[in-house]
Amino acid sequence: MNRAPTLEAQFSDLTDPRSGDNVRHKFLDIIIIAILATLANADGWSDMEQFGKAKETWLRQYLELPHGIPSHDTFRRLFILLDPQEFQQCFMNWVNAIHSLTKGQVVAFDGKCLRGTQDSHAGKEAIYMVSAWAAEDHMVLGQRKVDEKSNEITAIPELLALLDVEGCIVTVDALNCQKKTARQIVRQGGDYLLAVKDNQPHMREDVQDLFAWAAEVDFAEMVYDQHTTIGKGHGRIETRTCTTISDPECLAMLGHLKAWENLRTVVHVHAKRQLGEDISEEDRYYLSSLPGDTTNLATRALEASRSHWGIENELHWVLDMTFGEDYCRTRAGNGAENLAVLRHFALNLIRREKSSGLSVRAKRLKASWDDRYLLKLLSI
């Protein structure tokens, strides 16, 4: 077995938090079994132990296992003690070793609550994790826990600082539409597309008024672009029209223009959905550093705004529905945070396997039944 040399290389510098004479199982054996088990449909410590016992003969071909398969308590204790930032850095080093970001693709940042980690009796709130998602490659690039006395607004810049986003379009939700975040993205060589809503009320009003005025004068003699898409399916008709204004004289009408580094374009997306006789409409506004001379700017902005939702649909939803993340009640120490990283390891490996055409759930099930397929996932 090629025991994922890139994984082993990244884990070789990971600090074993255990000490004393009672350490019986090899550190890397426990880590590797945990990743294999998570790939093969295990969602907790007991599942990892049962996976190991069921696969012990097979595992002994590749792991030493001097004292057999670790118990669920051993898995639990190790991951409770394991330094989560070290583990996350190992994850990010591994991603960098196997993957290069395509220039121009969307990197979406968003947070997720791990609901099962809440402990009302102990007065402990559920933890939040923010993640970075490569929309085109469908991969997690990194993650960071939100500090208990903080929020996503501070966690996302910390995670962003660890990533190379040069040449990429970085998207965040309205909560994280912050001047400091825009400045950081630009200084790291990326472009931003930031949803602007009620947390920036004056800027939103200014942008909304600018588009209303531009429509009244039919965008006469201004630098703008427009693109419309129409989608049909399941009885619905969805029409999206994206309009961008990149005219410097028009942008000068925005009261807080200079506070946003490299703000060169404002974006309006009008979405209309029709289902039978029912019609709903929504207007969304964005700030962007994309320049007006960008080819098919409105098309690109619309695609980027839609790609942002991939982090919800292809990451957060899958973690809940396929990995049972919201139902995981691990709360002690660093256990929940490190389990989240294990799930990200597994999901990235599963996403990289494209030959089978199976869903994420089906791939996990197949990995639990088929040792050759499990090896294939691990060595991709």
For 116-129, give the DSSP string: GG-BTTTTBPPEEE
Residue spans of alpha helices (H) in the chain: 5-11, 27-39, 45-54, 56-59, 72-81, 84-98, 152-160, 179-187, 201-216, 248-251, 297-307, 310, 317-321, 335-352, 360-369, 371-379
Range of the domain at 24: 5-97+328-379
Q: Which residues of 68-106 are buried (b: 16+ CB within 10 A; e: fewer)?
A: ebbbbebbbbbbbbbebeebbbbbbebbeeeeebeeebb
Helix axes 371-379, 335-352, angle to 10 degrees: 100
Q: Is residue 234 part of a domain?
A: no
Tens digits of pLDDT across the chain (380 residues): 444 445 677 788 899 999 877 789 999 999 999 999 999 999 999 999 999 999 999 999 989 899 999 999 999 999 999 999 999 999 998 888 887 777 789 999 999 988 888 877 777 788 889 999 999 999 999 999 998 767 888 899 999 999 999 999 999 988 888 999 999 999 999 999 999 988 888 999 999 999 999 999 999 989 999 999 998 887 789 999 999 999 999 999 998 899 999 999 999 999 999 988 889 999 999 999 999 988 899 999 999 999 998 999 999 999 999 998 988 888 888 999 999 999 999 999 999 998 888 999 999 999 999 999 999 998 76
Contact 127, 337 (CB under 8 A): yes
Q: Is residue 90 part of a domain?
A: yes
Contact 124, 330 (CB under 8 A): no
Q: Is residue 342 part of a domain?
A: yes
Q: Is residue 369 part of a domain?
A: yes
Tokens for 232?
């049909």
Total domains present in the chain: 1
Q: Is residue 255 part of a domain?
A: no
Q: Is residue 132 part of a domain?
A: no
The whole-angstrom separation of Cα 298 and Cα 300 is 5
Q: What is the pLDDT of residue 277?
A: 83
Q: Is residue 137 part of a domain?
A: no
Contact 130, 153 (CB under 8 A): no
Q: What is the pLDDT of residue 380?
A: 67
Q: Is residue 134 part of a domain?
A: no
Give pTM, 2 decimals: 0.90
